[in-house]
Amino acid sequence: MNQTSNPVRRTRAFFTVYFKEVRENLRDRRTIMTALITGPLLAPLLFVMMLNIGLNRELDKAEKPLKVPVIGQQYAPHLFEALRAGGIVAGPPIANPEEAVRNQDADVVVRVTPDYPKSWRKGEPVQVEVIFDSSQRDASTAVERVSGLVDAYGHQQGAMRLVARGLSPSTAWPVNVARRDQATAQARGVLIFGLLPYFFVITMFMGGMYLAIDLTAGERERQSLEPLFANPVARWRIFAGKLAAICTFSAVSLLISLIAFSVVGHFLPIEKLGMELELGVRFCLTVLVMALPLIVLLAALQSMVAAFAKSYREAQTYLSLLMLVPALPSVLLMALPVKPQEWMYAVPLLSQHLGVMRVLRGDGVTMHQMLFCLGGSALAALVAVLVTAQLYRSERLAISS
């Protein structure tokens, strides 16, 4: 009987656990689907579809002829001539414009009253009604276009009247607003891409989630954890192997997602809006490096939650709730746009969010910020790993009933 196991070989226990978990999970269709296909690819696809639809709609409305129902066209032929030159096609009048706008039958309706020609001839101010519903965000482009054209027509006519009276048009408008937008083309793109960091975190989370459940709650439920712990391997080594497997799936998920985003980024019509996005190799590498400690942190947290749960289903429920936590920084920063402070780069999740946004803007991350980001997240990951390893030592962990 063999009584001497080579102690050197026991250090291989970590790799034995790691490769077994990876191999076993590569055979699981659901894990593969979530970690390698739907998780990492769904977000980029959704993103592109949303953006494309949104952008194309905006572009369409800005360039294409816009059909607007008009009431009282016969009273102001010159006005509508000017609108037509601006791409507004006058549609047939409708009976109840207020209701049509509220029901979204029309984005905007223009109404001119019958006393328009009389007032116009007398040189009195006339009214052109633009009827719309500001709670319909979809309509705002159309509303702005119509009001802009009406305004411009008014200015033009006013200027002509002044000239006819021998005055300079500038007497009527002594102050002009000169708008100077300092946003770079890249920075404008960021407005739309504010959700990107959250997508990345969700991808990492989804990539490791099924493994984290399977390797603790699942293994206990299937009653294989007790025999596993009867082997002459310290529990922390087993945990380390499992944790590494979770991290691998999570990292591969993120990598696939990043690659998908950079490929797909080329097909976005963002340059039409005067925006620019940096989604190249440098972007992918920076995001990946910043995400590394976060991957460990998430994997440890997931294992911790799964170890607490009494069953596979319970673990699934808890983890779905935990998934909402990474959304907080992204949502908070979108709701309250605060100026990023240096200390924020030391907060896990928040730092990755800020970092991704900086790289997207083309500003790049400074060495200092990167160190803060890696250090802060690594510290949090270490604490989470140690707590979970401690949890693994509990007698109760292995026992399913």
Catalog residues that contact another protein under the rule CB under 8 A: 1-3, 5-7, 9-10, 12-13, 16-17, 20, 23-25, 27-28, 219, 222-234, 395, 398-400
Cβ proximity to another protein: between 8 and 281 the closer is 8
Establish how many alpha carbons lie within 13 A of residue 335's alpha carbon, considering only the half-sphere containing its beta carbon.
6
Structure-token match 């997207």, residue found: 360
Q: How far apart are CA 157 and CA 103, in angstroms?
A: 34
Cβ proximity to another protein: between 12 and 57 the closer is 12
Q: Which residues contact 237 (CB under 8 A, 6 or more apart)?
A: 13, 14, 17
Q: How far apart are CA 290 and CA 293, in angstroms?
A: 7
Q: Least Å distance between CB 385 and another protein?
A: 21
Q: Least Å distance between CB 238 and another protein?
A: 8
Q: How far apart are CA 77 and CA 84, in angstroms?
A: 10
Q: Least Å distance between CB 299 and another protein?
A: 20
Q: How far apart are CA 201 and CA 206, in angstroms?
A: 9
Cβ proximity to another protein: between 3 and 182 the closer is 3
Helix (H, G, I), strand (E, B) or coil at 151: helix
Q: Least Å distance between CB 205 and another protein?
A: 23
Cβ proximity to another protein: between 242 and 361 the closer is 242
Q: Least Å distance between CB 32 and another protein?
A: 12
Beta strand 88-91 with 66-71 is parallel
Cβ proximity to another protein: between 24 and 314 the closer is 24
Cβ proximity to another protein: between 114 and 227 the closer is 227
Q: Least Å distance between CB 244 and another protein?
A: 15
123 in the Ramachandran plot: left (φ > 0), alpha (ψ -120 to 50) or beta? Answer: left
CA-nearest of 247, 263, 245 to 204 is 247
Q: How far is CA 342 from the centre of its chain?
A: 23
Cβ proximity to another protein: between 56 and 224 the closer is 224
Q: What six digits make up the tokens of 42?
A: 């769904």
Q: Least Å distance between CB 252 and another protein?
A: 19
Cβ proximity to another protein: between 347 and 391 the closer is 391
Distances (CA, A) of 290 to 20, 36, 178, 364: 28, 21, 41, 12
Q: Least Å distance between CB 324 and another protein?
A: 31
Contact between residue 73 and residue 90 where contact means Cβ atoms under 8 Å apart: yes
Q: What six digits make up the tokens of 58?
A: 């905006």
